[in-house]
Amino acid sequence: MVKCCSAIGCASRCLPNSKLKGLTFHVFPTDENVKRKWVLAMKRLDVNAAGIWEPKKGDVLCSRHFKKTDFDRSAPNIKLKPGVIPSIFESPSHLQAWPQTGPSQQDCREEHPNRTAEMSI
């Protein structure tokens, strides 16, 4: 049985030579909390379900979606460290309009209005 990666826009398949390319496949965690974080990280919406896609038994994600530090390479078979969340996904164009927070808010705080107020008096 050939497994395919569940991520959007990822065409990785588990073929006999995948491992030689450094590609590994990982099943979804059994812990519901962690599994939910994986699904949210994937930003995969399923039109057939009530909004959010649910992984089925045996569904996998390939190693492209994890950071190098997420893997435990001490074992003969590369495993994911417990509790890691996939973080590397190609965003399809229709999903790129996510609200951006962070840097812009910091800029506002640096421009303190007090100084200009004193000068205008």
| Interface residues toward Zn ion, by CB under 5 A | 5, 7, 10, 12, 62, 64
Residue nearer to Zn ion on the CB measure, 14 or 34 = 14
Residue nearer to Zn ion on the CB measure, 22 or 103 = 22
Q: How far is the CB of 39 from Zn ion (least distance, A)?
A: 14
Q: Three-state SS for 6?
A: coil
Q: Three-state SS for 30?
A: coil
Provide the residue count of the chain: 121
φ and ψ at residue 38, rounded to 5 degrees: -60, -50
Distance separating alpha carbons of residues 68 and 120, to the nearest angstrom: 55
Q: How far is the CB of 115 from Zn ion (least distance, A)?
A: 51
Residue nearer to Zn ion on the CB measure, 7 or 80 = 7
Contact 42, 35 (CB under 8 A): no
Q: How far is the CB of 9 from Zn ion (least distance, A)?
A: 9
